[in-house]
Amino acid sequence: MVCMFYNNAYAQSSFDYPHFSGEPIVDTLFGNVVVDMHREFEDYRNNKKVIDFYEQQDELTEKYFKQNKLASKYANHLRRIDKNENDRLKDVNLSEDGGIFIHKTQKGEYTSKIFYKSSIDSDEILLYSPKSSNKGFRDRHKISGFMPSWDGKKVVIGLRNKSFASKIIVLDVETKTIHDTGIKNARPNEYWDFNWIPNTNSFTYTSIRSTDPTDSNTSINTSLMVYDIIKGTNMEIFGNRKGLKIDERLIPLTRIYSPDDKYFIVYIAGPSRYWDSYYTTYESLKNGEPEWKALFKVADRSYLGRAQLDGDELYYLDGKNNDNHSLSSLNLVTKEHKTIVPELED
């Protein structure tokens, strides 16, 4: 298809392709003289010469396809298909009272929004759109993550524009007012979104050290944080500056499934599917000095990505003595281990 576009457009008109003349950079590597004519392209953010070159290419491309009849034919065909497209669902979260919070992109639009249904049979209500925010956030912002509080009265939302990281706001569901936390170094789209601490006005998020995407240390020494909406305070609860010493390349995460959870678990995530993990009680956490206890080590081969708590029992996939995993439980008080569903041999 690209070849058809090219031949068709080229037959219609000629064009002047933008020229870039790089300044030669000479290096001597292992005794060999190497001339690099394209070193300037490495500074594509600040070098006006490089920026102009890319903009000229963009203008040429736009002109190229606008005069291409075959390209216009296919573009019109795709637009007709788009008209039959349904809304694109991104995520659904539930509050304890049965409220349904829906993150989706509506048919024919590019910016996602958050909607609310009080029950499965009720009508959808637009709860939040980046376009309608009264806090000065522009259309270019996209929702990068969200989570309603357990009672459904508040929603914490991550907003991202062209930047590497997200800022965090909190929406009051009833009044539609927005609380700007001032946090700008979150990545909820990658680090398990947000989690509300049971029976509090606080939520967790994982912070990064830098919001500069060119900074090679941006994901080094990340921290698990708790933000208190009422107090307006931000507290680190796990990271190399607080808590136990961990590998600076790994990322502390948590996931809270119920407001009735008794324990707070931190997973030290990395490229392996098996992670070190630690836990404490919520009472210990509220005091600001959590007493962390070891839960699993990487060598235990416990797959914790979808672990679930129920009272004192932790349910997880156990791969320590079997390759296909068994469904197991661990009592955090007695330390008793049970195999609930053995591995499937086939």
Q: Note the pLDDT of residue 106.
A: 87
Q: Note the pLDDT of residue 44.
A: 81
d(C-alpha 261, C-alpha 200), whole Å: 13
Strands 326-331 and 313-318: antiparallel
For the beta carbon of residue 68, count every other beta carbon within 10 angstroms.
22
| Average pLDDT value for residue range 91-114 | 90
Q: Note the pLDDT of residue 264.
A: 93
The string of pLDDT tens digits covering residues 182-241 is 999 998 888 888 999 988 899 999 998 888 877 878 888 899 999 999 999 998 889 867
At 100 the three-state DSSP class reads: strand
Asked if 326 and 339 count as a contact pair (C-beta separation under 8 A), the reply is: yes
Q: Note the pLDDT of residue 215.
A: 81
Kindly tell me if the per-residue pLDDT of 137 is higher than 70: no
Lowest-pLDDT range of 154-163, 241-250, 257-266, 310-319: 241-250
Residue, of 314 and 323, whose pLDDT is higher: 314
**Class of domain 90-249 (CATH, top level):** mainly beta
Band the pLDDT of 10: cuts 50, 70, 90: very low
Q: Residue type for 302, please?
A: S
Kindly tell me if the per-residue pLDDT of 8 is higher than 70: no
Annotate 288-335 with DSSP letters as a single string: T----EEEE-GGG-EEEEEEEEETTEEEEEE-SS-SS-EEEEEETTT-
| Average pLDDT value for residue range 68-77 | 88
For the beta carbon of residue 329, count every other beta carbon within 10 angstroms.
17
| Average pLDDT value for residue range 328-344 | 93
- Name the nearest CA neighbour of 235 among 244, 245, 219, 223: 223
Q: Note the pLDDT of residue 43.
A: 84
b/e burial code for range 19-49 (CB count within 10 A of at least 16 → b)? ebeeeeeeeeeeeeeeeeeeebeeeeeeeee
Band the pLDDT of 9: cuts 50, 70, 90: very low
Q: Note the pLDDT of residue 290.
A: 85
Q: Note the pLDDT of residue 42.
A: 86
Lowest-pLDDT range of 28-37, 143-152, 194-203, 234-243: 234-243
Kindly tell me if the per-residue pLDDT of 139 is higher than 50: no
Residue, of 296 and 218, whose pLDDT is higher: 296
Asked if 302 and 318 count as a contact pair (C-beta separation under 8 A), the reply is: yes
| Average pLDDT value for residue range 264-269 | 92
Q: Note the pLDDT of residue 219.
A: 82
Q: Where are the domains of the chain?
A: 2-83, 90-249, 262-346
d(C-alpha 194, C-alpha 185), whole Å: 13
Kindly tell me if the per-residue pLDDT of 74 is higher than 80: yes
| Average pLDDT value for residue range 36-42 | 88
